[in-house]
Chains A and B, each alone.
Chain A
């Protein structure tokens, strides 16, 4: 399911997440310091464990997320692109939930996301983000 619209997550996904909330981790890959830090503050305030990365390389070197984890990936990363990170995650035997975030213009996002056609379950949030969009994922 690739869509630009921030539709609510499928109910199945939500059920699974709430069922394992205590161990679920949130991985944030965002190169902009301010956005990354604000996401960390918000998600931590919501009571989740957060792992934050400034680029795709350092994220891929760390431990891979568990199937119930949520990964927020900025599409416009320096170095390895957000799309490439998502592709790597989708190749995992049990991929985590992935949400792409982007402040790029729609046309550019569509170009990036076209690359992901065939991968399901990647949703997109456009910046500016609001906390409701994040909490809806949890």
Chain B
């Protein structure tokens, strides 16, 4: 029997009803770094981190007393402790056997270290890709941004040269209070333009800087407003951008830069859709349903052709002349990583397209609840992939 269990890829531990280990197979030896001889007869709590070690005896006792299953037949992701004191994640499922020697529990352990590492890498890669798309979007906006910076720079140069001329003339004619006041006023205006250039750069830098994904409480309306300002840079100013924001929206738990990235993508697409059309209009609205914050971007362009619809959210499929075709694919990824969704109403026949982002605003409370559920092991397993990017 023991030699059969030793061939198993998964770790197998058998304990008696006093939580003493009776069997510790080869896979376990590799995982934990203990020889079987070192652990047989000892309490299984030596393999668990303190938070479990204390409760483990309790689990067994409670189960024996109440028959209430917290882990048996269910399986869950827990941490385990190696001989050298380090911890690693395992997937643990426990079965029960009634034997002539009494009740026994069989634990099957799968080492999750590699899978966790893969998950972490994937998360990191996704973060990089999202950032890459952001940089690529800015790259496409490059000349518009240059133009936008040109305006305050032009103003600054001309203001300073006007003052310079005035002062040169003052050398001959002398200062008058009135002329000096005018010069100061011009210098003040030059400062204002310099600040305007600075704030453009600040807004752009926010989007380009390499930074890890984060979650914080954000005000959606404020975020959306900022992103629209950025998107309008260099766009056709005849297009009317209507902002219809819901009042008193709750705070959103989100990565602010990623949410802005969605807005920039959707609003840029909308500008594209109404380009060259008389009376072009883009409506950006925010609102609330019972569980979600909704953000919608609607244009009065031609709508999306049926044949474009299939590949709409796929990367590198683009109907545009420029760009990598990442915008919508990335936007959907971001929405999903926030536990939400990006949906499209393609419109057509005199109706423009409408994109809607639904983001759960209760996410903080909800995940607290599901964590509480996990404590009693009634709810979803804690190893359920939580979407966190």
| Interface positions of A (Cβ within 8 A of B) | 31-32, 34-35, 37-39, 41-42, 45-46, 76, 78-79, 103-105, 108, 127-131, 134
* CA A104 to CA B144, docked complex, whole Å: 7
Asked whether A130 lies within 8 Å of B161 as measured between CB atoms, the reply is yes
B residues engaging A (CB < 8 A)?
143, 146-147, 150-159, 161-162, 165-166, 186, 189-190, 192-193, 196, 237-238
**CB–CB A32/B151 < 8 A:** yes
Give every chain B residue within 8 A of A38 (Cβ-Cβ). Answer: 154-159, 162, 189-190, 193
In chain A, what residue has the closest Cβ to B156? Answer: A38
Contact partner of B161 among A37, A42, A76, CB < 8 A? A42
A35 neighbours in B (Cβ, 8 Å): 151, 154-155, 158
Q: How far is the CB of A16 from chain B (nearest CB, A)?
A: 24
Residue of A nearest to B155 (CB): A34
Other than the given A41-B162, A129-B158, A131-B162, 11 more pairs (CB < 8 A) read A31-B237, A34-B193, A35-B155, A37-B155, A38-B156, A42-B161, A42-B165, A45-B165, A103-B151, A127-B153, A128-B154
Cα of A105 to Cα of B140 in the assembled complex, Å: 13
Q: Which chain A positions have C-beta within 8 A of B192?
A: 34
- Closest Cβ of chain B to A45, distance in Å, is 5
A34 partner residues in chain B, CB cutoff 8 A: 151-152, 154-155, 189, 192-193, 196
C-alpha spacing A81/B193, complex, angstroms? 25
- For the complex, would chain A's binding face be called helix, strand, loop or mixed by DSSP majority? loop
Cα(A34)–Cα(B196), bound, Å: 10
A75 vs B156: C-alpha distance when bound (angstroms): 20
The DSSP consensus for interface residues of chain B is helix
| B306 → chain A closest CB, angstroms | 32
Q: Which residue of A lies closest to B159 (CB)?
A: A38
In the complex, chain B residues whose CB is within 8 Å of the CB of A127: 147, 150-151, 153-154
Partner of B165, one of A39, A46, A79, A129: A46
Q: Which residues of B contact A131 (CB under 8 A)?
A: 157-158, 161-162, 165
In the assembled complex, the CB of B120 is this many whole angstroms from the nearest CB of chain A, namely 42
Please report the C-alpha to C-alpha distance between residue A103 and residue B148 in the assembled complex, in whole angstroms: 8
CA distance A42 to B154 in the complex (A): 12
Cβ-closest chain A residue relative to B166: A45
Question: Cβ of B150 and Cβ of A103 under 8 Å apart?
Answer: yes
> Could you tell me the distance in whole angstroms from the C-beta of B241 to the nearest C-beta in chain A?
13
Residue numbers in A under 8 Å from B238 (CB-CB): 78-79
CB distance from A116 to the nearest CB of B (A): 19
B158 surroundings in chain A (CB, below 8 A): 35, 38-39, 41-42, 129-131, 134
Contact A41–B159 (Cβ < 8 Å): yes
